[in-house]
Copies of this chain bind each other. A is one copy, B any other.
């Protein structure tokens, strides 16, 4: 998918909502557990109920990996379902990978070619040659961790080095890498006070913002500094939508909570 196609979809749906598919068998409605593949079935029903309100879905790979082969099969079926049934949807493998060059190429092929995701999240700690193998894929996006929403996020990202913090160095340095146009950045919604500086460094790249909802981030704050003339913003909600109910009404409740966010987003746009 191209960046423009994603922007067009956002304008059409008046939504920049990404829904995180963090499937936990202990949390999904019990009546699904008797089915052959409850993980995929849960995802499919969530997607069916919310795809008109969301522009992106983000399976968190850890949740699938934790179920071994069964989990990988469910992930494969989920991405195939999205690609076939909803080709306009932007797909994110939230994998936070990153390794030395030849290994990163392996990861990139796994997510971009075999599974055919539009994007993958990548950790920056190992530097340029750990990220550039991902950036080499045309019309695929590498979403680099910059400033994360978790408590320990500032332990190292927040260290001051010269006139900048480490996460600012990450943003600035990444822009110099080959095929930097294929970058997006993860910036946690729990740190809106940093958004202004971030937008000054990366005014023309998409930000993927987790942390709205369960983690306490505020959508208005995020929009205020995150949106650009070309939008370039995706806001993720996982638990607040997919676990809105643990009963048979879970799709209805997921849809309602997604609609609530979509309406707020329409006002921001």
Per-residue B-contact encoding for A6-42, CB less than 8 Å = 1, 0 else = 0000000000000000100000000000000000000
The prevalent SS among residues of A at the interface is helix
Given contacts A69-B76, A150-B127, contact A166 B155 (CB under 8 A): no
A118 proximity list for chain B (CB < 8 A): none
Chain B residue nearest in CB terms to A176? B155
> Are A145 and B125 neighbours in the complex by a CB distance under 8 Å?
yes
* A29 CB to nearest B CB, Å: 19
Contact of A107 among B66, B152, B161, B169 (CB under 8 A): B66
> Are A106 and B65 neighbours in the complex by a CB distance under 8 Å?
yes
A109 at the B interface (CB under 8 A): yes
A99 proximity list for chain B (CB < 8 A): 60, 62, 94, 96
A166 proximity list for chain B (CB < 8 A): 156, 159, 161, 166
A124 at the B interface (CB under 8 A): yes
Distance A57 CA – B245 CA, assembled complex (angstroms): 44
Per-residue B-contact encoding for A112-149, CB less than 8 Å = 1, 0 else = 00110000000111111111000000000000010011
* A132 CB to nearest B CB, Å: 8
A269 at the B interface (CB under 8 A): no
* A210 CB to nearest B CB, Å: 8
Given contacts A96-B98, A103-B63, contact A125 B156 (CB under 8 A): yes
Contact of A155 among B65, B97, B128 (CB under 8 A): B128
A97 proximity list for chain B (CB < 8 A): 62, 96
> Are B161 and A159 neighbours in the complex by a CB distance under 8 Å?
yes
Per-residue B-contact encoding for A74-108, CB less than 8 Å = 1, 0 else = 00100000000000000000101111110110110
Distance A148 CA – B129 CA, assembled complex (angstroms): 11
Distance A201 CA – B11 CA, assembled complex (angstroms): 53
Per-residue B-contact encoding for A147-165, CB less than 8 Å = 1, 0 else = 0111111111101111000
A150 proximity list for chain B (CB < 8 A): 100-101, 126-127, 129-130
- In the complex, the 5 A-B pairs of residues with the closest C-beta atoms, listed nearest first: A127-B152, A127-B155, A128-B152, A62-B106, A66-B106
8 more A-B contacts (CB under 8 A) besides A66-B110, A125-B156, A159-B161?
Answer: A60-B103, A62-B107, A65-B110, A123-B126, A125-B157, A130-B152, A156-B169, A159-B162
